[in-house]
Amino acid sequence: MNKQITLIVLYIIFSTLAPAASSKPVFSEKGMVVSTSRQASEAGIEILKKGGNAIDAAVTVGFALSVTSSSNGNLGGGGFLVATMIDGESFTIDHREKAPADAYRDLFLDDTGSVVPGMSLYSRAGSGVPGTVDGLIQALEDHGSGKISLREVLTPAIRLAEKGFNLSHYEARRFNTYESFFGRNEAAAEIFIRKDGKPWKKGDRFIQRDLAKTLKRIAKHGSGGFYSGPVAEMIVEEMKRGNGLITLEDLANYSSIYREPVTGVYKDYTIVSMGPPSSGGALLINMLNMLEHYPIDSLGWNSSDYVHILTEVERRAYADRAEHLGDPDFWNVPITMLTAKEYAKNRIRDINMDTATPSNLISASQAPAYESPETTHYSVVDQWGNAVSVTTTINLGYGGGHLVKGAGFFLNNEMDDFSSKPGVPNAFGLVGNKANAIEPGKRPLSSMTPTIVLKNGKPFIIIGSPGGSTIITTTMQVILNIIHHNMDIKEGVSSPRFHSQWLPDVIMTEPRGLSRDVIQNLELKGHTLVPYNGGYIGEANGILITEDGFYGGGDSRGETSAVGY
Ligand code: DON
C-alpha cells in the first residue's frame, strides 16, 4: 500500500506536464530568476529591481516558494545553496535536515530486523529537523547586499499567504489528485481540501493564514521565530500526534553550515557544485571526468552509443555512492578520490563500447585509508554576475503528509534518504550502507545537485533539478546538452532524458524519450530499458549566461517560470 502511494506520488510529481515543444529562452540583461512558480520568480525580480543582489533575490524566492509551491518549497524541509560571487568567492550553505537526537540506526526496523514498510516515509518519525529557515536567513545575513531587510525578503511570501493567489489549472489539478492524501491529516485537510467539498479549479483563491502567521514570526524574530517559541512548540505538538522524534532541543540546536563547494574541471569549464552530505557534486564531477575520455561531440545526442556510455559511467558512479557517500561530519567521504582525474581514468578501464557491464560485476572502489517526486530547483543571477543555485525539498510531494497544525506547513520525510538497512532501497530505489546509516544529528545523504558551471572563471550555466536519484544524471545531461550538443538553455532543460543508477540494473526512459532503433541497439548491447516510474524525469530550471546577457530556461515538464528584467 505504502509503496503504491510512493509510486503514485512520484508519478504525480513528474506527470503533470509532458515536455512541450521547446520555446525560446527568456532573455534579459540585468537579472534573471528561473523557478517552478511564476509568483516566486516575480518576487525575486522585484528584489533585484530594488537593488538587491542574487542572494537577496534567492532568499525571497525561497520564502515565496514555501507559499506557492507547498508540495516542495517548504519551511518544513531543507536544501543546499551554491553561490559564486563576483568578488571571486564561492561557497555553499548546507541547510539539509538533521536526524533528531533520539534517532538511531535501526529506527525503521521491526523486532525481526526487517524494514517497516512506509515508516520512514509516512510516519512522523520520518521527519528530520528542518533547515530551510536557518539556511536562507544565514545566506541573507552573510551575503545579501545589506540593502534588503529580512522583512523585505519575506513580504511577498507573507502577502501571497495572507491575501492568497489564484490557482493555475495544474495547481488545482494537483490539489485534487492529492485529496485523499490530505484527508489523512486533519490540519492538511482543513487548508488543502475545499470547504464545500468541491474540486479546486483554475482561478480559485488559495489563502494560507496560519502560514502567513509563521512567516510574520520569522520576519519579526529571525530564525528564533521558527526554531523557538510558538512555531517550535507547534512542531513538537505535531510530533506528539504520532511517533515523531523532533524535540524543542533539536530545533534550538539546528544550524545550517558552510561547506566548501566540490569543484572539477571538464574541458574548458569549471564545475562548482554541492559536496556531501549531497552526493550530487561528487558524482557529477566523477562522471564528467570519466566522459572526458570519449568523443561525446561525435557520438551524437541520445544515440545508442551516447546512452550506452552515459549509462556505463552512471553505474560506476552510483556504485561508489552507495558505499562511500554520507554526511561528512560522521563519515570520512573519499572526496579527493572520487573527484580525481586519475581515479576516473582507472574506473573506465573495463568499459566496453559494444556490451553493457552487468551491475553485479561493478562494485564500489576501495577508499584510500586516509582522505584529508518532491523537490524544486531555482537559479538566480543579478546585474553584477553573482550567481545562486538552490535545490530545496521536503522529499516526496507534501512530505509525509503531516502539516504542522497552526503553523501551516508540511514537514519533510527526509529520514527516508538514510539507508534504513544495508541493501534495502529507499523511495528512489537507492541503496546504501554504513556511510549513510541513521545516527543522531546526522544529515541524510542527498542527490540534490545545485551547480554553477564557470567559463573563463565566470558563471556560464546555473542549473539543478528535482527528481531524487535522477537529479545528478539530469544535471549532467543538461550540461552536456549545452556544452556538446549546442542546445540553448530552454532546449537543454526540456529535451528528453534517461537515467541509470547501478541498481536496479536498467536504463530508465521517458515517454517518447528514445527512438525504437536506439532502444533496439541498446538491447543488443545487453541493456534492459524500462519506463521511468515517475513518467517524466526531473524539472531542471537553468540560466545560461553569454556575452549578450542572461537566457532563462524553465523545464517544459513543469509549469516553470523564467522572469528577467
Ligand atoms: O535529497 C534528495 O536527494 C531527495 N530527498 C530529493 C527528493 C526529490 O527530488 C523528490 N522529487 N522530486
Mean pLDDT of 89-108: 98
Whether 131 shows a pLDDT value over 60: the answer reads yes
Mean pLDDT of 373-392: 95
Res 9: pLDDT: 44
Amino acid at 545: I
**Which residue in 470, 448, 449 sits closest to 532, CA to CA?**
470
470 CA to middle of ligand 1, Å?
9
Res 369: pLDDT: 53
Res 243: pLDDT: 95
69 CA to middle of ligand 1, Å?
15
**Which residue in 233, 316, 271, 278 sits closest to 482, CA to CA?**
271
Domain parsing of the chain, residue ranges = 27-169+204-258+375-436, 170-203, 264-370+467-551
**What are the pocket residues of ligand 1 if the criterion is a CB atom closer than 6 Å to any ligand atom?**
13, 373-375, 393, 395, 414, 417, 446-448, 466-468, 471
| Percent of the chain with pLDDT strictly greater than 70 | 95
Mean pLDDT of 60-81: 95
- Please, which pLDDT band fits residue 366 given cuts at 50, 70 and 90? confident
- Please, which pLDDT band fits residue 540 given cuts at 50, 70 and 90? very high
Whether 42 shows a pLDDT value over 60: the answer reads yes
The answer to whether 375 is a known catalytic residue is: yes
Please name the residue that has the C-alpha cell 513580504.
Answer: 155
- Please, which pLDDT band fits residue 2 given cuts at 50, 70 and 90? very low
For atom 4 of ligand 1, which residue has the closest CA?
468
Res 20: pLDDT: 47
- Please, which pLDDT band fits residue 534 given cuts at 50, 70 and 90? confident
- Please, which pLDDT band fits residue 74 given cuts at 50, 70 and 90? confident
Which of 391, 428, 436, 537 is the best mutation target for the ligand 1 pocket, counting ligand atoms within 8 Å of the beta carbon and taking the most?
A: 428
What's the start-to-end Cα distance of the chain, in Å?
Answer: 48
Contact between 523 and 529 under an 8 Å Cβ cutoff? The reply is: yes
Mean pLDDT of 168-190: 96
Gyration radius of the chain's alpha carbons = 22
186 CA to middle of ligand 1, Å?
25
Alpha-carbon span 451 to 261, nearest angstrom: 9
- Please, which pLDDT band fits residue 12 given cuts at 50, 70 and 90? very low
Q: If DSSP codes are grouped into helix, strand and coil, which group holds residue 19?
A: coil
448 CA to middle of ligand 1, Å?
7
- Among residues 68, 375, 449, 560, the one annotated as catalytic is 375
- Please, which pLDDT band fits residue 363 given cuts at 50, 70 and 90? confident
Mean pLDDT of 47-63: 98
Alpha-carbon span 433 to 431, nearest angstrom: 7
Alpha-carbon span 424 to 121, nearest angstrom: 14
Strand runs labelled E in 431-511 = 451-455, 458-463, 498-499, 507-509
DSSP 413-450: -GGGGS-SSTT---TTS----GGG---TTPPPPB----
**Which residue in 523, 418, 412, 502 sits closest to 127, CA to CA?**
412
- Classify domain 264-370+467-551 by CATH architecture: Orthogonal Bundle (1.10)
DSSP 564: E
What is the b/e burial string over 324-346, where b = at least 16 CB atoms within 10 angstroms of the residue's CB?
Answer: bbbbbebbebbbebbbbeebbee
For atom 5 of ligand 1, which residue has the closest CA?
395
- Please, which pLDDT band fits residue 427 given cuts at 50, 70 and 90? very high
Whether 14 shows a pLDDT value over 50: the answer reads no
Res 551: pLDDT: 98
What integer best gives the mean pLDDT of the chain?
Answer: 94
- Please, which pLDDT band fits residue 368 given cuts at 50, 70 and 90? low
**Which residue in 179, 199, 181, 157 sits closest to 68, CA to CA?**
157
Tens-place pLDDT, residues 270-316 = 999 999 999 999 999 999 999 999 999 999 999 999 999 999 999 99
Closest ligand 1 atom to the C-alpha of 417? Answer: 5
Mean pLDDT of 481-506: 97
Tens-place pLDDT, residues 202-234 = 999 999 999 999 999 999 999 999 999 999 999
